[in-house]
C-alpha cells in the first residue's frame, strides 16, 4: 500500500491491544466481498476485536463499499448513523449496479428517492439523510 511507504511517524500512536475493545456504541464495519486492498477477512478480523461490532458485507468488487452502488448498503448504513441500529450479523448486501455498467451512484440515489422504477427504493424520509452520497457520487461513476 502506498501509505505504508510514507516516511513520517505519527505524533500519537496506539500501541495497546485491540482484543475485547469496549466502545460507547457498537461499531459497524463495511467490506466488499472482492476488495484486494482491504479484504473482507480483514474487516472480520478487526471486528472480532470490538465487542458487539458487526461486519456488513457488500457483494461487490472494488476498493471500499463506495465502489459498489447498493441501496441495501445505504439503508443499513443510514440506519446505523441515524439510530445506532446494526444489521444482523451475516448480512450481505447485493450491488445494484454491475461493474462497468455505466450505472452511477447518482442513478442509484435517484432510484432511492423514488425517481426511477429500475431499483427498489428507500422511503423518502430516509433519502434526506443521505445527501452527501448523492452530492459526492452523483456526478458519475466511482470505478
Domain around 42: 26-137
Which residue from 107, 105, 111 is spatially nearest to 141, judged by alpha carbons?
105
119 close to 71: Cβ distance less than 8 angstroms: yes
As a whole number of Å, the end-to-end CA separation of the chain is 18
- From residue 87, give the alpha-carbon distance in Å to each of 23, 120, 126: 17, 18, 16
pTM of the predicted structure, to 2 decimals: 0.69
Task: Give residue-wise pLDDT tens across range 24-69.
Answer: 999 999 999 998 888 999 999 999 999 999 999 999 988 878 778 8
**Structural domain contains residue 5:** no
Model pLDDT, residue 46:
94
Query: Tens digits of per-residue pLDDT, 62-71?
Result: 887 877 888 8
Question: Phi, psi at residue 31, to the nearest 5°?
Answer: -145, 145
Residue 27: the pLDDT is 97
Residue 110 falls within a domain, yes or no? yes
- Band (1; pLDDT cuts 50, 70, 90): low
**Is 64 part of any domain?**
yes
Domain-located, residue 36 = yes
Asked if the structure places residue 15 within a domain, the reply is no
Which pLDDT value is given to residue 129?
A: 47
For 80-130, the pLDDT digits (tens) are 999 999 999 999 999 987 777 777 767 777 776 666 544 444 444 445 445
16 within a domain of the structure (yes/no)? no
The position carrying cell 441501496 is 71
Classify 141 in phi/psi space as left (phi over 0), alpha (psi -120 to 50) or beta.
beta
The answer to whether position 35 is within a domain reads yes
The predicted structure's pLDDT at residue 114: 65
Note whether 51 and 23 are within 8 A (CB). yes
129 inside domain: yes
Contacts of 94 (CB under 8 A, 6+ apart): 59, 70, 72
pLDDT at 130: 52
- Number of domains, the chain: 1
Amino acid at each position: 500500500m502506498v501509505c505504508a511507504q510514507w516516511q513520517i511517524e505519527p505524533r500519537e500512536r496506539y500501541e495497546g491491544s485491540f482484543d475485547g475493545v469496549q466502545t460507547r456504541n457498537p461499531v459497524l464495519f463495511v467490506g466488499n466481498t472482492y476488495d484486494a486492498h482491504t479484504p473482507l477477512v480483514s474487516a472480520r478480523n478487526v471486528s472480532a476485536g470490538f465487542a458487539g461490532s458487526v461486519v456488513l458485507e457488500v457483494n461487490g468488487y472494488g476498493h471500499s463499499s463506495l465502489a459498489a452502488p447498493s441501496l441495501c448498503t445505504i439503508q443499513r448504513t443510514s440506519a446505523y448513523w441515524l439510530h445506532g441500529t446494526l444489521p444482523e450479523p451475516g448480512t450481505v448486501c447485493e450491488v445494484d449496479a454491475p461493474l462497468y455498467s455505466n450505472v452511477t451512484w447518482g442513478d442509484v440515489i435517484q432510484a432511492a428517492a423514488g425517481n426511477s422504477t429500475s431499483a427498489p427504493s428507500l422511503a423518502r424520509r430516509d433519502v434526506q439523510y443521505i445527501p452527501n452520497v448523492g452530492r459526492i457520487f452523483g456526478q458519475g461513476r466511482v470505478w
